[in-house]
Amino acid sequence: MDEDGRGDLRWGSIPGLVRAAAAAYARQEAVVDGRVRIDYAGLGERIERAAAACIAAGVERGDRVAVWAPNTLDWIVSALGAVSAGAVLVPLNTRFKGTEAAYILNRSRARLLFVTGTFLGTSYVASLRRAAAEGPGTGPLPGLPNLQEVVVLAEDAPESFRTWKQFLAAGETVPAAAVHERAATIRPEDPSDIIYTSGTTGSPKGAVITHAQTLRCYHVWSELAGLREGDRYLIVNPFFHTFGYKAGIIACLMRGATMVPQPVFNVDTVLANIAAERISVLPGPPTLHQSLLDHPARDHHDLSALRLVVTGAAVVPLQLVERLRAELKIATVLTAYGLSEASGIVTMCRRGDPAETVSATSGRAIPGTEVRVTGPAGEPLAPGEPGEVQVRGHHVMRGYHEDPEETARAITPEGWLRTGDIGVLDAAGNLRITDRIKDMFIVGGFNAYPAEIEQLLGLHPDIADVAVVGIPDPRLGEVGKAYAVRRPGSTLTADDLIAWSRREMANYKVPRAVEFVPELPRNASGKVLKTALRARS
């Protein structure tokens, strides 16, 4: 297997990859978005038109261009068009409110914004206008002085904004040669995107990632996953997240796979898409795959084309891996671990790994990467000992955008990225993430790791989903509280689950309280919102 990770040398930059894909896979279907179907040659042409329009709008190399929209063909074209014009892409979370989006637009000093019209009943334009109605700027939004243009990805737009069609039309005066010349000036070491963190530890910070880092990482990802030409890839992971944009769009461009973007996760739509489009690749959080397996109408859909699943989370139940393989006959089920500050990927399982390795770990370091686990003073720990996961390699971010102080806190002078995750390495180098440093709680002097407790609770036959947080306790300092989702038809009580836990785990790990909920609160990336659960406790 080619795991050298030097695939970036053949493309040089993301626009180089786009042009290469358009030539190599010209007649291969590239994107299916509702009734719209385009091949790779057509996708390349659309991206070049968008790049020309960006140049006509005055976008220069290094300018930040933001996209605030759900998974659609227009997201792909606008984002890659901006990057092909030399811009640095700033994807915005579709869960953001106007004030949150305005914060990142200001922090990144974005010059141009592509924004959806109405999505899930919310007008993103109106939300942003309210948030940025007042300020020193003279552009379309006074509260965003650096933002010179807003393009609405819809048929109509408010005064002072342009529609997508109007924007593209203005680029028709820019010759193709000018687009190619601009793309040729982009160097591998230039920034390709700024991915803003979720802000779980303070305000969001923007991880700056280069073209070479993106290309090298997702060349490796595609090799390890076994993505191949002709695969049909349902992209449910949001494009604003590395899992959706890079393990999705970028990986498909590299391999000539067909992208089927899905704007909103809905299990009925996923099932329908898998059957109708003969989907073969379905990455996503464990909850996505669990909901497929448990859906009462699952057997009414033809899921036989599915062959590859890649998932990742602190907890991936062994039963989930085994059921995907046994019930859906999925040949390859893999887990991985990454974070925005390391280009989205650090470790990954390999095809052929046993189910126990896939479920209990996030695999081994990708080529060109070092992973270590450290103690409180930064000292490396032996295999089997939990500590902070640190990463060093080609994919560690350049730093946080215009934030040298936070960059210095995150990256040691020797180049090790402090991830803030607690993990354990086994003797073979497989990494098991046990928690975030901030999520660990101490029960009577014992360190309790919620993810480990969740893994154990998930073995109970009546538990469909579970999350554990620490709550104050007058005697022990803190104890665990479990928020659990019962399986349909279950009559499991809190006392039942606590009694079962006492038989299955050390006493300090046993939750002292259990609250049953219809579902756990999650962000758009599938991560449980522990802050929301703590607020309820």
The pLDDT tens digits for 170-186 are 999 999 999 999 999 99
Query: Residue 525 — pLDDT band, cuts 50, 70, 90?
Result: low
Query: Residue 475 — pLDDT band, cuts 50, 70, 90?
Result: confident
Query: Residue 440 — pLDDT band, cuts 50, 70, 90?
Result: confident
pLDDT by residue (tens digit) across 326-384? 999 999 999 999 999 999 999 999 999 999 999 999 999 999 999 999 998 899 999 99
**Pairing, β 122-123 against β 118-119:** antiparallel
Whole-number pLDDT of residue 447 = 75
Mean pLDDT of the chain: 92
Closest CA to 196 of 126, 101, 313: 101
pLDDT by residue (tens digit) across 210-223? 999 999 999 999 99
Q: Would 11-202 and 265-436 be classified into the same CATH topology? A: yes
> Tokens 């979370």 label which residue?
93
Closest CA to 195 of 242, 152, 254, 142: 242
pLDDT by residue (tens digit) across 152-163? 999 999 988 999
Write down the domain spans for the chain. 11-202, 265-436, 440-536
Classify 445 as helix, strand or coil: coil
pLDDT score of 200 more than 70: no
Residues forming beta bridges with residue 446, ordered by sequence position: 443
Tell me which architecture the domain covering 265-436 has in CATH.
3-Layer(aba) Sandwich (3.40)
Long-range pairs for 517-522 at CB < 8 Å and ≥24 separation? 517/483, 517/484, 517/485, 518/485, 519/465, 519/485, 520/465, 520/466, 520/467, 520/483, 520/485, 522/285, 522/287
Between 99 and 485, where is the model more confident? 485
Class level of CATH domain 11-202: alpha beta
Which two three-digit tokens encode residue 180? Answer: 């190619």
User: Taking a C-beta distance cutoff of 8 angstroms, is the pair 480, 448 a contact?
Assistant: yes
The mean pLDDT of 45-51, rounded to a whole number, is 98
Closest CA to 227 of 259, 184, 195, 273: 259
pTM (global) more than 0.85 = yes
Class level of CATH domain 440-536: alpha beta
Residue-by-residue DSSP string for 460-504: STTEEEEEEEEEEETTTEEEEEEEEEEPTT----HHHHHHHHHHH
Whole-number pLDDT of residue 2 = 46
The mean pLDDT of 505-534, rounded to a whole number, is 88
pLDDT score of 199 more than 70: no
pLDDT score of 201 more than 60: no
Whole-number pLDDT of residue 3 = 46
The mean pLDDT of 400-414, rounded to a whole number, is 95
Q: Which residues contact 510 (CB under 8 A, 6 or more apart)?
A: 480, 498, 501, 502
Whole-number pLDDT of residue 121 = 87
Residues forming beta bridges with residue 235, ordered by sequence position: 261
User: Taking a C-beta distance cutoff of 8 angstroms, is the pair 210, 190 a contact?
Assistant: yes
pLDDT score of 1 more than 70: no
Whole-number pLDDT of residue 9 = 65
**C-alpha to C-alpha distance for 276 and 154, rounded to whole angstroms:** 27
Percent of the chain with pLDDT over 90: 76
Whole-number pLDDT of residue 111 = 98
Whole-number pLDDT of residue 205 = 92
CB neighbours (10 Å) of residue 350? Answer: 16
> Tokens 């790990």 label which residue?
509
Count helices and strands in the chain by DSSP H and E runs: 19, 27
